[in-house]
């Protein structure tokens, strides 16, 4: 264990083997640092934060800060972090809002300079958040998703696995798995083919994903029929994830940037709230 003499570590904090804590770091009470964690200078680990093994926290990062909420409860939740994550300079991750709530960060994620993850978010594994990404509260991001610099994700929204969100995009609805969201228009522009290839997906799997994508965005079928077709035509493999993701949607889905006028996707409920009804997609951009 290598602890710099200027670091301030609460006596109740639990530090594993081979932990390194740099100059002017602060580790508050009720904190666990797993084996092999490294804190660079001025890193702050707040109350209720638990890090697994081999996490690297760079200069000025703050993990487990209080949620940004007008009605902040007297006792807030916690931040749970897995193994092998990298938090670059000045990143901020907030803990859960209510006492039993958790913000959860999985394994092997790269969260770059100035990125923010709000309270009660669930981040999967091998996720990349580029500089200055803004993730609001209660957001879920699937495994191997990629969110480029300056992009913003609205609260309670979901980013599906292996989705790629372009720089400065505004994800105001759910982003389905495997697709690419254009940063300029915030419209869906097809599958994340580069990500799929890098993840080792087979040609037949990519073909099935392409066919499912066309069914969702370009068939012009009513939404309920799209879901039924997805369930029947793609019962297994990666393409089956489209059905499970879309069937659980509550806030609608990001539309395609350019799409036939007849294509439909569930955007709003019939009672005026988002999600249940059908609305034709119009061209964006």
Catalytically active residues are 119-120, 137
User: What is the gyration radius of the CA atoms in the chain, in angstroms?
Assistant: 21
Q: What crossing angle do the helices spanning 223-233 and 203-218 adopt, rounded to 10°?
A: 160
3-state class of 155 per DSSP? coil
Residues in contact with 271: Cβ distance below 8 Å, sequence separation at least 6, in sequence order: none
Residue 11's Cβ-count burial label (10 Å; 0-12, 13-18, 19+) is exposed
Residues in contact with 98: Cβ distance below 8 Å, sequence separation at least 6, in sequence order: 73, 76, 77
3-state class of 176 per DSSP? coil
Q: What is the distance in angstroms between the CA of the first residue and the CA of the last residue of the chain?
A: 55
Residues 208-219 as b or e (16 or more Cβ within 10 Å = b): bbbebbebbbee
Cβ(120)–Cβ(95) under 8 Å? no
């Amino acid at each position: 264990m290598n602890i710099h003499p200027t670091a301030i570590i609460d006596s109740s904090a639990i530090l594993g083997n081979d932990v390194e804590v740099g100059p002017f770091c602060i580790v508050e009470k009720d904190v666990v640092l797993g084996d092999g964690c490294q804190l660079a200078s001025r890193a702050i680990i707040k109350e209720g934060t638990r890090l697994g093994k081999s996490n690297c926290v760079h200069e000025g990062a703050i993990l487990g800060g209080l949620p940004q909420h007008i009605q902040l409860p007297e006792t807030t939740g916690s931040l749970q972090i897995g193994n092998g994550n990298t938090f670059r300079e000045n990143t901020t991750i907030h803990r859960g809002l209510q006492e039993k709530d958790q913000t959860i960060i999985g394994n092997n994620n790269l969260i770059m300079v100035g990125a923010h993850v709000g309270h009660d978010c669930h981040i999967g594994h091998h996720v990349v958040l580029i500089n200055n990404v803004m993730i609001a509260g209660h957001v879920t991001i699937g495994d191997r998703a990629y969110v480029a610099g300056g992009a913003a994700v609205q609260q309670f929204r979901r980013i599906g696995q292996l989705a790629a969100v372009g720089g400065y995009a505004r994800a105001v609805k759910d982003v389905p798995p495997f697709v690419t969201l254009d940063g300029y228009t915030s419209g869906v522009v097809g599958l994340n083919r580069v990500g799929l290839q890098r993840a080792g997906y087979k040609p037949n799997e990519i073909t099935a994903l392409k066919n499912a994508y066309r069914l969702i965005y370009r068939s012009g079928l009513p939404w309920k029929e799209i879901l039924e077709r997805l369930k029947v035509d793609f019962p297994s493999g990666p393409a089956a994830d489209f059905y499970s993701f879309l069937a659980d949607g509550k806030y609608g889905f990001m539309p395609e940037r350019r799409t036939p006028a007849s294509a439909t996707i569930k955007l709003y409920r019939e009672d005026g709230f988002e999600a249940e009804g059908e609305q034709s997609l119009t061209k964006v951009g």
